[in-house]
Structure 1
Amino acid sequence: MEDILRPIYQERASHPNTLGVQIIEKGFMKNYTDNFDAILLIILKEAEHPWFVKHYSSDDKKAAMHIVSESQLREWILLGSNRKIFDWLLNGKILFDRNEYMENLKTELREFPFYGRKLKMGLEFAKLIRRYVDGKTFFENHQSLDAFNHVVHSLHHLARLAVIENGFHPEVTVWQQVKQIEPEIFKLYEELVNSSESLDKRLELLFLASEFLIHSRTVIGISHLMDILITQEYWSFQEMMEHDELSSYSVDLEVLLEYLIDKNFIRVVSVETKGQGIYHRYYKVKEKLS
């Protein structure tokens, strides 16, 4: 496929805005390349469309070209919202590399700087808490199927958190990673989906086990958040939403805050308003993390 696609990527490589070009050919799993024979990944410094996709065919072969802006790529890497991108970047073959941009990016992904890990762990922990809290609420209201759905997602975020904590990027096959890195979490997942116990019994046992695993990872999971909150005496929620890094927590931040208040990591500061008996609600770090 590389020879067939050469005229396409050579034209793109000639543009000064192009940072790098990679080809990813179909491997042992079809979904590795979304069932295409090859993926042509082109990274641009700036682009009118953050993500542009075009499909090609030649005889019985098919390929997809993904043109991605650098800012979109960084967002995917930060938020983990496009999990295949890690596989593509790490395993793809470089066809064009301006000023070693692609090689440096591969090195950055392999080394996974600790600060980047802290932020990604924070985002995964927030998603974990959101799913866990919602799942428990459904369970307490006897909505077992909805509870099951949320618990499966919470375990997935717990698995991704464990992988990141160990210095790796979560891959598409995250459960294969977790099986090697954190077999305890993998065993929980297996028991949830394979156990012969009733669904309610499985969920009851899982919530108990999850409570312990979440507790054991709370300090490292909220480290990034607390590093930022400690820089001010107290925060309004709007200030958090407008902070460059805390805004990444998105809709999960409110649930995470309430969880941390309940666990005595954060306390509420009440400030009087003009209305009698009504107070502004601010948030303050209660204790430093060890």
Structure 2
Amino acid sequence: MEKGKMGPVLLLDPLVKDQDISGIVIVDKDIVEAWSKKFVDWYIHIILVHTEFPEEAVASQWLDDVEGRPILVSRLSEQELLEVSDLEHHDVKRLIPLGKIELDRKGHIESVKSIMLGRTPLHEQVVLSRFANFVEAYVHGRRYLEKGHVWDAYTSVLTALKEWACLTVVEHGEHDQVGLWEQVKHLSPGVFKLYEELATSNETVLQRVELVLLACEFSITTKLNSCAAPLLRILRESKQGVSLEQLYEREELQIIRKQLPMLMEKLTRSHYVIKTTEPSSDPHYPEALYSIYHWNEERKAVHG
């Protein structure tokens, strides 16, 4: 954390004109103290959202205004902002509903504020985010194992189990605590047992990894319908099919943007969707094809 001296009163104009900054929120000391019933060390808290976090920037910086009052400047990347699983615990993001939005080029801040104020289904969004992280770690573990990298697969399945544990906690309407595994031991003994087996079993590392991957695969298949509900809803309502690029544009899917290709592949393999290809309309790649995903109306009848 850096501290500096700010001579003139901080002006928003230079920040607003900076195209690398997509959002600005100003939070007042009095509002926060009235809400939290706790004292804070700053007079004004300025939250800056960057399209990408600058390498030279620091996450937090202390400045003084002309009257010597402390100003805290915090920086987030858009990716950090859109991660909803930590909204209630993140020291900066939890203040967003209390602040005044001075700039929101892409609407991301208003979306997060709406979630935190309960105007959108926060629980469903958090579940989707946790589920995507779970699937991603599982897929990495599977791919490592297929290439014969057993210890890398072990690391990935350990991550998958942690994400599964966090997902379990969210599904029970709770927040993950410092003692996560003690919490999960009571909520889902089966998940805890897998963690225990992976860490302490007398089986070979390969056998332990294979066991956990098998359990993860079954859990993911079972949970797809409920945990991926926002994505499935979009696919079900897209009568003409939808491309990956169109899914990228959906506001409610921004939190799983980087996992979308992987999730769509999983949905295709699980017969939730049928993938077709169409010629590209891009003049630079006239011979290229792009994928269109269609909701499989027959799945329920065929797969139950």
Identical-residue share of aligned pairs (%): 23
Q: Distance in 2 between matches of 1:115 and 1:78?
A: 11
Query: C-alpha distance in 2, partners of 1:255/1:148?
Result: 20
Instruction: Check the 8 A contact 2:48/2:73 in 1, yes or no.
Output: no
Q: Partner of 1:176: helix, strand, or coil?
A: helix
How many residue pairs get aligned? The number is 237
Q: Aligned AA for 1:119?
A: Q
Q: Distance in 2 between matches of 1:214 and 1:191?
A: 19
Deviation digits for residues 237-279 of structure 1 (CA, Å, limit 9, x no counterpart)? 1111122121221211111110110001111132244789753
Matches within 5 A, 1:133-144: 133-144=139-150
Does residue 256 of structure 1 match 2:263?
Answer: yes
> Aligned AA for 2:28?
N
Distance 1:279 1:76 in 2: 31
For residues 181-213 of structure 1, give each alpha carbon's deviation from its aligned partner in whole angstroms, at most 9, with x where no partner exists.
111101111111111221011112222222222
The structural deviation recorded for 1:232 is: 2.0
Match of 2:207 in 1: 201
SS at the partner of 2:242?
coil
State the distance in 2 between where 1:186 and 1:170 align: 14
- 1:264 aligned counterpart, secondary structure: coil
Distance change in 2, residues 1:83/1:180 (3 Å)? farther
| Aligned-residue offset at 1:44 | 6.8
The amino acid across from 2:125 in the alignment is L
Q: 1:85 aligned to 69, 74, 90, which one?
A: 90
> Which structure has greater helix proportion?
1
Shift of 1:149: 0.9
Aligned residue in 2 for 1:156 = 162
* Amino acid in structure 1 at the alignment position of 2:138: Y
Cα distance in 2, alignment partners of residues 166 and 209 from structure 1: 20
CA distance in 1, matches of 2:248, 2:139: 21
RMSD over aligned Cα atoms: 4.3
Structure 2 unmatched ranges of 5 or more: 1-25, 51-58, 63-70, 100-114
In 2, distance between residues paired with 1:277 and 1:182? 51
Over residues 70-102 of structure 1, what are the superposed CA-to-partner deviations in whole Å (9 max), with x where a residue is unaligned? Answer: 998x9377143x78538x97xxxxxxx99xxxx
Work out the CA distance in 2 between the residues paired with 1:135 and 1:68.
Answer: 35
Q: How does 1:1-290 map to 2 (within 5 A)?
A: 17-18=28-29, 19-21=31-33, 22=36, 40=40, 47-48=47-48, 52=60, 75=81, 78-80=84-86, 84-85=89-90, 115-233=121-239, 234-273=241-280, 279-287=289-297
- The two structures have a TM-score, normalised by structure 2, of 0.63
Residue 47 of structure 1 aligns to a residue whose secondary structure is strand
The structural deviation recorded for 1:115 is 1.9
SS in 2 for 1:170: coil
